[in-house]
Copies of this chain bind each other. A is one copy, B any other.
Amino acid sequence: MSTSSPQRIALIGLGTIGISMAALHLSRDGNIVDVFDTRPDFEDYISKMLPIYIRDSQKQNSDAGASTSLVASLVSSGRLRIHSSLESACASATIVQEQGPENVDWKQSIWAQIEAVAPLSAHFWTSTSGIAASIQQRQMHDKTRLLVVHPFNPPNIMPLLEIVPAPETSPERVEFAREYFSVPGSRHRPVVIRKEIPGFVGNRLAFALLREACYLVQEDVVDAKDLDTILMASLGPRWAGNGVFESYQQGGGEGGIRAFLEKLGETMQTVWDGQGRVNVLGDEGIEWKEKVIAQVDEAYGTLSAEQIQEKEARLKDFVRIQTKKYTPDGLE
């Protein structure tokens, strides 16, 4: 089955990521989305939340008054189907995607149940941020069907999807997922990770930087807010336009990253040797925790809905500019 033909996607677990995925799948002509969640107010919740993400996904201002009728019209046209059992949600799926609790037992159990009720050809995707497909698939009979499709928060704006197969996942199913998110016009940028590793790639990079950030606050080199300012005033915009490797390829001039590593090698090694080895669990190396939490609370408090809206609008602008074309004449 080609990825460009309409799919029928069963979404299991409709938290923020699930709702956002529903909006994404519904933005493709002809797709049918079956949703299942155990929350008691499920239908009301869908009617209230889905329009917000569909509006984002279509990049249009929607009339707030039309929100609930949008879901009603999707339901009456048969494109959105709200289910009260896992079995009926999965019965006709070409793709089953779960966004349930980050709990090994729950994941293993749900996939065994899904395997028993979904069509034999259906693709199985988990949106987990931390539990590898090879762990989730342990109670399944056919281990070639499951892979991780890890979105990044907020998933309705962030282009990244980390596709992480288990060693037993079939290459065809990996390619199907990659293609599905790569169709022309897609705002998403799927990347296949070749090996299962805790945190996959995005969070490993983020946590490596975070660890040093926590150390620098612990040592009173800088406070949390000033560290954030430093990141936003330098590495953030740099890495929004260039990856880390391309940045240093450019930084090295004609000699590229090799010249950069030679020139900065001594400073780099000194920094690497002196990196903070703080911890987040256990009893040692956790002196940073209360200090960081206190400074972050003082600097930002609880973000208001309006602040989050502004941040999301700005984030959309950043993502839009990533694909903006610059002609030589139009360059400032």
Contact = CB atoms under 8 A, between A and B. Distances in A.
Interface string A141-177: 0000000000011000011101000000000000000
A212 B205 contact: yes
Given A191-B233, A310-B326, A198 B274 contact: yes
A239 B235 contact: yes
A80 interface: no
B281 A202 contact: no
Contact of A321 (B203, B239, B317): B317
Interface of A: 56, 59, 61, 129-130, 152-153, 158-160, 162, 189, 191-195, 197-199, 201-213, 216, 219-222, 224-246, 248-251, 254, 256-258, 261, 264-272, 274-275, 278-282, 289, 292-293, 295-297, 299-300, 302-303, 306, 308-311, 313-319, 321-322, 324, 326, 328, 330-332
A203 B231 CA distance: 10
Contact of A245 (B191, B224, B302, B322): B224
Give the dominant DSSP class at A's interface: helix
Copies of this chain assembled into the complex: 2
A304 to B, nearest CB: 11
B233 A189 contact: yes
Nearest to A229: B191
Nearest to A295: B245
A294 to B, nearest CB: 10
Contacts of A293: 256-258, 261
A205 B233 contact: no
A320 to B, nearest CB: 9
20 contacts: A129-B264, A193-B221, A195-B220, A198-B274, A199-B268, A201-B222, A207-B272, A208-B211, A208-B275, A210-B248, A232-B239, A232-B240, A236-B238, A249-B297, A249-B303, A265-B280, A265-B281, A268-B280, A272-B279, A272-B280
Given A204-B216, A246-B299, A270-B198, A233 B159 contact: yes
Contacts of A129: 264, 267
A172 to B, nearest CB: 20
Given A194-B220, A310-B326, A249 B296 contact: yes
B195 A237 contact: no
Given A257-B292, A332-B313, A152 B234 contact: yes
Contacts of A274: 197-198
A93 to B, nearest CB: 27
A278 B310 CA distance: 39
A310 to B, nearest CB: 5
A316 B332 contact: yes
A171 to B, nearest CB: 16
A244 B222 contact: no
Tell which of A204, A246, A248 has the most Cβ of chain B within 10 Å.
Answer: A204
Contacts of A272: 207, 211, 278-280
